[in-house]
Amino acid sequence: MSKLTVVVGAGMAGITAAYFESRKGRKVILIDSDERAGGLLNSDFNFGHYFDYGTHIYADTGISELDNFLHGNFSSDNCTIHTIIHNGNYFKGVMNSKSGYVDASVLPLNEYNQGCSELLSMPEKHPADNLQNHLIGKFGVTFYNSIFKDVVAKYSGVSAKTLAVNAVDPFEVTRILAFDENTTKRLTKTEMYNAKLGLHTKGNSSQQNYYPKHGGVGGQIFNLMRTLDKMGVEFRPSAIITKIREKQGRVYEVVTKSGSIELDRLIWTLPNSLLVRLVGIKEMQSAPPLFRNTGLFDFVFDKALNSNLMYINVYDTKLLSGRITLYQNMTQSEVYSCTVEVLADHGVDLKSKISLVLDELVKMDLIDKASSCIFRQFRPVGAGFPVLTTDTAEKYNRLNKYCNDYFRNIVFLGRTPSTFFLSDVLVDAYHKLVNQD
Ligand SMILES: Cc1cc2nc3c(=O)[nH]c(=O)nc-3n(C[C@H](O)[C@H](O)[C@H](O)COP(=O)(O)OP(=O)(O)OC[C@H]3O[C@@H](n4cnc5c(N)ncnc54)[C@H](O)[C@@H]3O)c2cc1C
């Protein structure tokens, strides 16, 4: 009888793991607590439109067998292929269509000049113990105080002083637009400035990014699950795990509300805090990590939105809106809809903010005066963006080391506080399952 692998979590990490595991000739059972697979790569259909939930785009990973599985079926017939992702940002009441990075040139002239001179003179290496020191070391105290301090607070809800260095990487708070295009091009030839400055235009990229023409980004999940089904992978949706049994670090049984599964190998794509709780390792149990109160606001208009950007990062701290995704530019078709991600403190009733978020789109001049909103909806996101404090990061690393040292037949994959972007999650899965096995 072939060996049985149980994969827990049918997000993209679990789906990819099930594929590579099954290719080794192993029997694979993929389980998820949700009724659908895909996790944070999904699309919801309403009012004749698809609204993505989480990630919006598939990017080439550069690993051909991984790319073949993920999007080998994509072509210009069924997919819009982008070599450049057109991002913009909105900061201090100004729309910048050049880049997703925050634009320092909208600051008052004296602050801007002072900030640029500090930025150019900051040392190359700036190791830091928290995000505040990291940002001051990288960009200088003026840009920190006039830009990053409030932007970090908007996205994370806490002061940068309490956060880990990489806590706001998902929001592109890693570089800055500070000089004109030519100066930036010259400066970024030096590694030190390249790490700080965002380019105005992204230039030609060899990386392909794919957005399906039908079904939103989540439409591809159906195809991936069909591939798994043909390979004999068994998918068990709506499965609630109540216990995981192990002996001396070797897991031998996963117990769910609808029965037990005996296994040889476990692929775990969820937080390790849940694993130690289900196994019952009391000394490693602690409070689960805090996530931002996250919501998605979807709108459909009767006319096109006033922008050719695919994403807009709203850094403006007077506005609630976070990243805006414009489907008309993702699909390059007459789909006049958008999704606005909003991150807020717990206790904020996000659903009640839908009119406010719509007003913000008007304020940013994205909606023409003659245009009407013909559909709106709110979707909450559970466990979206973690608040990565230095304390959480330290606990996470300790738990991660413990789990890696103790368990002998578990492969740990999936999104972690330090591996957020989908391609990083997938490349990590590939290396662990194909290269290191
Ligand atoms: C709002 C938002 C926007 C994002 N945008 C981008 C982006 O633009 N680009 C990008 O690269 N990345 C983006 N990401 C991150 C990206 O979506 C993730 O890195 C990626 O989808 C992670 O895949 P995963 O399989 O590790 O986790 P998930 O997609 O979270 O999948 C985990 C799966 O586990 C299941 N599960 C949970 N608990 C249990 C349980 N107890 N038992 C069994 N199953 C369980 C869930 O139902 C889910 O299906 C975004 C994330 C969010 C929240």
**Which residues, including other chains, have CB under 8 Å from residue 140's CB and lie 6 or more apart?**
115, 118, 119, 121, 122
Question: Are 175 and 231 found together in one domain?
Answer: no
What pLDDT band is residue 200 in, cutting at 50, 70 and 90? confident
pLDDT tens digit sequence for 70-122: 999 999 999 999 999 999 999 999 999 999 999 999 999 999 999 999 999 98
- Residue 144 and residue 135: Cα distance in Å, rounded? 6
> Is position 74 within any domain?
no
Mean pLDDT across the stretch 422-427? 96
CATH of the domain at 47: 3.50.50.60
> Is position 162 within any domain?
yes
- 8 Å CB contact between 100 and 172: yes
Percentage of the chain beyond pLDDT 70 is 98
pLDDT of residue 310: 97
Question: Are 224 and 175 found together in one domain?
Answer: no
- Whole-number Å distance, alpha carbon 247 to ligand 1 midpoint, is 30
What pLDDT band is residue 204 in, cutting at 50, 70 and 90? low
Question: Are 143 and 109 found together in one domain?
Answer: yes
The DSSP line for 270-290 is S-HHHHHHHHT-GGG--PPPP
- Whole-number Å distance, alpha carbon 124 to ligand 1 midpoint, is 35
- pLDDT beyond 80 at 289: no
- pLDDT beyond 70 at 10: yes
Number of domains in the chain: 2
Question: Are 187 and 261 found together in one domain?
Answer: no
> Is position 209 within any domain?
no
- Residue 172 and residue 98: Cα distance in Å, rounded? 14
- Whole-number Å distance, alpha carbon 16 to ligand 1 midpoint, is 13
194, 229, 249 — which closes off a domain? 194
**What stretches of 259-335 show up as alpha helix (H) in DSSP?**
272-279, 327-331
Question: Which residue's CA is the closest to the ligand 1 atom numbered 32?
Answer: 11
Question: Which residue's CA is the closest to the ligand 1 atom numbered 6?
Answer: 55
- Whole-number Å distance, alpha carbon 341 to ligand 1 midpoint, is 15
- pLDDT beyond 80 at 56: yes
Query: Kind and range of the H or E element at 250?
Result: strand 250-256
Question: Are 397 and 273 found together in one domain?
Answer: yes
> Is position 236 within any domain?
yes
Question: Which residue's CA is the closest to the ligand 1 atom numbered 44?
Answer: 32
pLDDT of residue 123: 79
- pLDDT beyond 60 at 348: yes
pLDDT tens digit sequence for 353-373: 999 999 999 999 999 989 999
Question: Are 136 and 186 found together in one domain?
Answer: yes
**Phi-psi map region of 23: left, alpha, beta (phi>0 left; psi -120 to 50 alpha):** alpha
**Mutation to probe ligand 1, out of 32, 33, 55 (largest number of atoms < 8 A from CB):** 55
Per the prediction, the chain carries an average pLDDT of: 95
- Residue 418 and residue 46: Cα distance in Å, rounded? 33
**Which residues, including other chains, have CB under 8 Å from residue 313's CB and lie 6 or more apart?**
87, 88, 89, 90, 100, 101, 102, 171, 172, 322, 323
Q: Which of 76-80, 245-249, 284-288, 303-307 has the lowest mean pLDDT?
A: 284-288
What pLDDT band is residue 288 in, cutting at 50, 70 and 90? confident
Q: Residue 63 in 3-state DSSP? A: coil
Question: Which residue's CA is the closest to the ligand 1 atom numbered 51?
Answer: 54
**Which residues, including other chains, have CB under 8 Å from residue 252's CB and lie 6 or more apart?**
245, 246, 262, 263
**Mutation to probe ligand 1, out of 255, 422, 433 (largest number of atoms < 8 A from CB):** 422
Q: Is 71 exposed, middle or buried (0-12, 13-18, 19+ CB in 10 A)?
A: buried
Percentage of the chain beyond pLDDT 90 is 91
Question: Which residue's CA is the closest to the ligand 1 atom numbered 13?
Answer: 55
pLDDT tens digit sequence for 257-279: 999 999 999 999 999 999 999 99
Question: Are 236 and 106 found together in one domain?
Answer: no
> Is position 44 within any domain?
yes
Question: Are 177 and 255 found together in one domain?
Answer: no
| Structure token pair of residue 302 | 């009767």
Would you say the CB of residue 218 lies under 6 angstroms from ligand 1?
no
What pLDDT band is residue 36 in, cutting at 50, 70 and 90? very high
Angle between helices 12-23 and 219-231 (to 10 degrees): 30
**Which residues, including other chains, have CB under 8 Å from residue 228's CB and lie 6 or more apart?**
15, 18, 19, 22, 28, 30, 235
Question: Are 113 and 52 found together in one domain?
Answer: no
- pLDDT beyond 90 at 285: no
- Residue 221 and residue 136: Cα distance in Å, rounded? 42
Question: Which residue's CA is the closest to the ligand 1 atom numbered 52?
Answer: 54
Question: Are 32 and 153 found together in one domain?
Answer: no
Domain interval for residue 126: 99-194
Give the residue from 8, 51, 77 showing the smallest Cα distance to 263.
8
Atom of ligand 1 minimally distant from the CA of 59: 11
Question: Are 405 and 281 found together in one domain?
Answer: yes
Would you say the CB of residue 40 lies under 6 angstroms from ligand 1?
yes
Q: How would you write 362-424 as a 3-class SS string?
A: HHCCCCCCCCCEEEEEEEEECCCCECCEHHHHHHHHHHHHHHHHHCCCEEECCCCCCCCCHHH
What pLDDT band is residue 125 in, cutting at 50, 70 and 90? confident
- pLDDT beyond 90 at 16: yes
pLDDT of residue 8: 98
Per DSSP (E only), the strands in 32-121 are 41-46, 49-54, 58-59, 79-82, 87-91, 94-96, 102-103
| Structure token pair of residue 82 | 């982008």
The residue written with tokens 């994509």 in the block is: 74
> Is position 341 within any domain?
no
Question: Which residue's CA is the closest to the ligand 1 atom numbered 39?
Answer: 33
- Whole-number Å distance, alpha carbon 177 to ligand 1 midpoint, is 30
Would you say the CB of residue 6 lies under 6 angstroms from ligand 1?
no
Paired residues of 326 in beta bridges: 338
pLDDT of residue 202: 64
Give the residue from 131, 112, 110, 96 showing the smallest Cα distance to 315.
96
What pLDDT band is residue 186 in, cutting at 50, 70 and 90? very high
- pLDDT beyond 80 at 183: yes
Q: Which residue has the higher pLDDT, 127 or 241?
A: 241
Paired residues of 254 in beta bridges: 244, 261
- Whole-number Å distance, alpha carbon 140 to ligand 1 midpoint, is 34
**Which residues, including other chains, have CB under 8 Å from residue 369's CB and lie 6 or more apart?**
none
Would you say the CB of residue 381 lies under 6 angstroms from ligand 1?
yes
- Whole-number Å distance, alpha carbon 413 to ligand 1 midpoint, is 12
pLDDT tens digit sequence for 392-424: 999 999 999 999 999 999 999 999 888 899 999
Question: Are 104 and 236 found together in one domain?
Answer: no
> Is position 308 within any domain?
no
Would you say the CB of residue 271 lies under 6 angstroms from ligand 1?
no
> Is position 377 within any domain?
no
Mean pLDDT across the stretch 299-304? 98
